[in-house]
A and B are shown apart, each in its own frame.
Chain A
Amino acid sequence: MIRVSKSYDRRAALTDVTLEITKGEFVLLMGASGSGKSTLLRLLIGEERPDQGQIFVYGKNVSRLTRDEVPYLRRKIGIVFQDFRLLPHKTVFENVSLPLVVQWASLADIRRKVTEALRAVGIEHKKDQIPKNLSAGEQQRVCIARAIVNGPVVLLADEPTGNLDPERTVEIIELFKLINERGTTVMVATHDPHVRTLVNRRVMTLRQGVVVAGTEESGA
């Protein structure tokens, strides 16, 4: 990300942000609500375009992608949300299979990869349940399984522990570390200082759209 700025109605959300995340890194993006964390993630997945600057993901210039190219970028990125964003009328299996379905993967492939992803997050036994029958922690695991089922090169998480109790938070962060150890680049955006204590990795801090600290390692 090179000198990226983005504003909404003349209010700056990000100002002159430059950052580089190398392949396989785990980065914690810290900042209070409204500091620009979500905007930064939206820019990375091509949901927004920067007013200035360039964004490269896995060698692709995201800021220059056409609308028809954006879906192909997103197939390389897994996304985890605070509110899980699961389809309520579909089962856990069907929710997790979505990224494969939209690419017309074969049924055998879908079955194999979804089972692997559910096993990786520890909820294989819940595959036939619908989301409302699951706890918040389990729903977040489903969301993570959906994000990794496609073998993404990057995993982005926006306040992934915002709806979880401390115990579940630890589990989810451990899961991200595991995913990262398998080679996936992980970026977790959070305002929760407790998460920082759990992650002994690079921390970037945003304040009012400006990077105020970018290279430190967190201390836990």
Chain B
Amino acid sequence: MRWLLYWVREAWVNLRTNRATTIVAMVTTAFTFACVGIFVLSYVNLRNAAMWLQDDIKIIVYLDDDLSMEDMQTLRERLASDQVVADLRYISKEEALSEFRAQFPHDSHLLEGLGENPLPASFVITPAPGHRSPEAVDRWADQVRAMTGVAKIDYNQEWLDALFELVRYLELTAIGGGVILSAAAVTIIGNTIRLAFFARREEVAILQLVGATRSFIRLPYVLEGAVLGGGGGGLALGILKIGFEVFRHQIGSAGRFQGAEEMVSFFPPSIAAAFVVAGVGLGVVSSMISLRRFGERQA
């Protein structure tokens, strides 16, 4: 316990002695982490949205106009007994027309001129939870398409696929950006540690002469790196939270996206904690690299 207190005290002395450098390093690291955080936050939210949309997917099976009531019942029973189907709702031609009129009151006159109701009857199917992936839906849709009485299947998979594609790109960008910006953070923290070590080189020399081991000399600097990294990570979370709340307020007050502010969310506590832990880890790694390269002769 005493050794821990000693190292914490020495690290604190280092941080206080090089106050300006420490603050600059922590703020720069925080902004670097915040840049990574923006990607991660966008990724998390878009991924949530895509998952939510995928979970909410509805498959619409349009029926042939000339399908008899008996055949429709047979098809309904066949689909309802399928394990893929969690819920099935029949929409008759008349219901489809009244829904269209309700949704598009100004365009309903377009159908008037056609005389007969052109809208087909359909089944609106909600897939069971284990069968909502794009691949499972595609596979099932192919089977249903081949059934007698089915005219067409629609499930908006194309734009959902596009959204998933976007999420994948964002994931790659977050990883790539994260690696590059983490390298920048490592350099910033490493240089700060190097400066602190250089400033106390005479003390290091004295410690060596009185028999201090390398780990005894280096550990306060490793702790200092951990504080810089963890502090940078924590500060980055603060910056992101403020930015996120401003963004949410903006989209809430902009009429077009009203309601969208309820759909976006900040990092859950586990990811927020991981952010700070990653900062601590990067800080430790940077100080160790820095001490290895610069301090090899000194300590």
Contact = CB atoms under 8 A, between A and B. Distances in A.
Interface of B: 2-3, 6, 13, 202-203, 205-214, 216
B209 A102 contact: no
A137 B39 CA distance: 63
Contacts of A98: 206-207, 210
6 contacts: A71-B211, A74-B209, A75-B211, A89-B13, A102-B207, A104-B3
Nearest to A99: B210
B2 A102 contact: no
A103 B13 CA distance: 21
Given A74-B209, A85-B202, A87-B203, A102 B214 contact: no
Label chain B's interface by main secondary structure: helix
Given A104-B2, A104-B3, A68 B214 contact: yes
Pick the most buried of A71, A75, A87: most chain B CB atoms within 10 A of its CB. A71
Contacts of A68: 213-214
B212 A85 contact: no
A146 interface: yes
Contacts of A67: 214
A72 interface: yes
Interface residues of A, number: 22
A99 B211 CA distance: 7
A79 interface: yes
Contacts of A134: none
A21 interface: no
Given A68-B214, A71-B213, 18 more contacts: A71-B208, A71-B212, A71-B214, A72-B211, A73-B211, A74-B209, A74-B210, A74-B211, A75-B211, A79-B210, A85-B205, A87-B206, A98-B210, A102-B211, A102-B213, A103-B211, A146-B210, A150-B211
A101 interface: yes
Nearest to B210: A99
Contacts of B6: 101
Contacts of B213: 68, 71, 102
A45 interface: yes
Nearest to A152: B211
A68 B213 CA distance: 7
Q: Which 5 A-B pairs have the closest CB atoms?
A: A75-B211, A102-B212, A74-B211, A99-B210, A71-B211
